[in-house]
Amino acid sequence: MNTLDPYPVFVDCYGDLATRFSSDMSKIVPNLQVFFEKPVSEDILIERLQGRKNALVYMSYISSRVLKECPELKTISYLSTGLETHGDLEVAKEMGVRFEGVKGYGDRAVAEHAIALAFAAIKRLNEMDRAVRSGNWGLIKTEEIQSKTIGIIGLGGIGLETAKISNALGARTIGWSRSRPHTDIPIELLTLDQVLSQSDIISLHLSLTKETTGFIDSNALKKTKPGLILINTARAGIIDESALISYLNSGHIGHCALDVFHQEPVLMSNPLTEMKNVTLTPHSAWLTSQAIDRLLIAGLNLLKRHIAETSNV
């Protein structure tokens, strides 16, 4: 690679994104160089970024070393929200590298996944599946979701989309947000303590920040209803995992459904993998064909804007 090459680069268009990346999408950013293989080391990532002003990134972590060895970089267009987990933002700021992500692409996909996990828990689908596979045909009683109160903590795009589906199912929908959302979706806005104490099902949709790390801790969990169904499709760090495991073991949390983990892939030594009252999915809530297309198009348009804004820099 010529380190003076000015062309923008997509450093890691692999997996499902590579399958969905189309010729029409490539026209959004002319002269874009696309790497369809995951960079297997930081050295390869640096090689792909050196000499570039503008880059599009899917999952690669942009560390302080990467930033310092690629001093020509001016912008990183990231195919994600929650940028704190995807790069060294402090060093990027110090070096004048604009780090910007895309939003909204997975709102519906994640909301549907959260509600699917709620159904899996309340209808005891995992338990039924295990029983039938083991030859046990005993009937298993379940509940109806429309008779329940669904509490949504975090009312950004995904939280509000979850509220929309919850309302359509006939559930009582309550919610709490750190900032009052602007929406026409019917939802009872309550205090955090009220949402914790009144909900039969709680779905978490907070971004991970210093203020929300460990937000759902023992103090919060003790305020919840016995038998609570807890769903997290946001970020693992929102929940104090040791407190969660304790409340699952005690039975106070009836079921927990998680799409995100403190370490990914989740370790088989993690107690959550052995618990029968836990449903686990592999950080795939957002991964639908429709969401991937929206993500790619939004990311390419963000990169296009970045290129225009830095053309004279």
DSSP-derived 3-state class of residue 57: strand
Strand partners, 215: none
Cβ atoms of 78 and 60 within 8 Å: the answer is no
- Per-residue pLDDT reduced to its tens digit, 209-219: 889 999 999 99
Average pLDDT over residues 257-270: 95
Q: What is the mean pLDDT of the chain?
A: 94
Look up the CATH number of domain 9-105+289-309.
3.40.50.720
What average pLDDT does the segment 105-113 reach?
Answer: 97
pLDDT of residue 208 exceeding 90: no
Task: State the average pLDDT over residues 209-238.
Answer: 96
283 tagged catalytic: yes
Does the pLDDT value for residue 5 go beyond 60?
no
Q: Do domains 9-105+289-309 and 107-280 have the same CATH topology?
A: yes
pLDDT given at position 313: 74
User: With 80 as the cut, is the pLDDT of residue 177 above it?
Assistant: yes
Give the percent of the chain with pLDDT over 70.
Answer: 98
pLDDT band at residue 3 under the 50/70/90 scheme: very low
Higher per-residue confidence, 171 vs 181? 171
pLDDT band at 252 (very low <50, low <70, confident <90, very high): very high
Q: So what's the pLDDT on residue 188?
A: 95
Give 185's pLDDT tier (boundaries 50, 70, 90).
confident
Instruction: Give the pLDDT band of residue 182 (cuts 50, 70, 90).
Output: confident
Mean pLDDT of 277-286: 96
Higher pLDDT, 239 or 81: 239
Q: What pLDDT shows up at residue 86?
A: 87
Model confidence at 303: pLDDT above 70: yes
Q: What is the CA radius of gyration of the chain?
A: 22
Report whether 104 contacts 128 (CB < 8 A): no
- CATH number, span 107-280: 3.40.50.720
**Which residues are registered as beta bridge partners of 172?**
149
Q: Which residues pair with 256 in a beta bridge?
A: 230, 278
Residue 311 has pLDDT above 60, yes or no: yes
pLDDT, mean of residues 190-201: 98
- Active-site choice (94, 143, 144, 264): 264
pTM of the model: 0.88
> Which two structure tokens, joined as six digits, stand for 217?
């801790």
**Taking 50 as the threshold, does the pLDDT of residue 1 lie above it?**
no
Among 48, 113, 235, 306, which one carries the catalytic annotation? 235
Out of 124, 252, 283, 305, pick the active-site residue.
283
| CA angle centred on 204, ends 189 and 212, rounded to 5° | 95
Place of tokens 């970089």: 73
- Please state, for a pLDDT cut of 90, what percent of the chain lies above it: 91
Confidence tier at 4 by pLDDT (50, 70, 90): very low
> Domain residue spans in the chain?
9-105+289-309, 107-280
78 half-sphere exposure, CB direction, 13 A CA radius: 21
Q: Give the integer Cα–Cα distance in Å for 104 and 69.
A: 32
Q: State the average pLDDT over residues 167-191.
A: 91
On whether the CB atoms of residues 171 and 146 are closer than 8 A, the answer is yes
What single letter denotes the amino acid at residue 108?
R
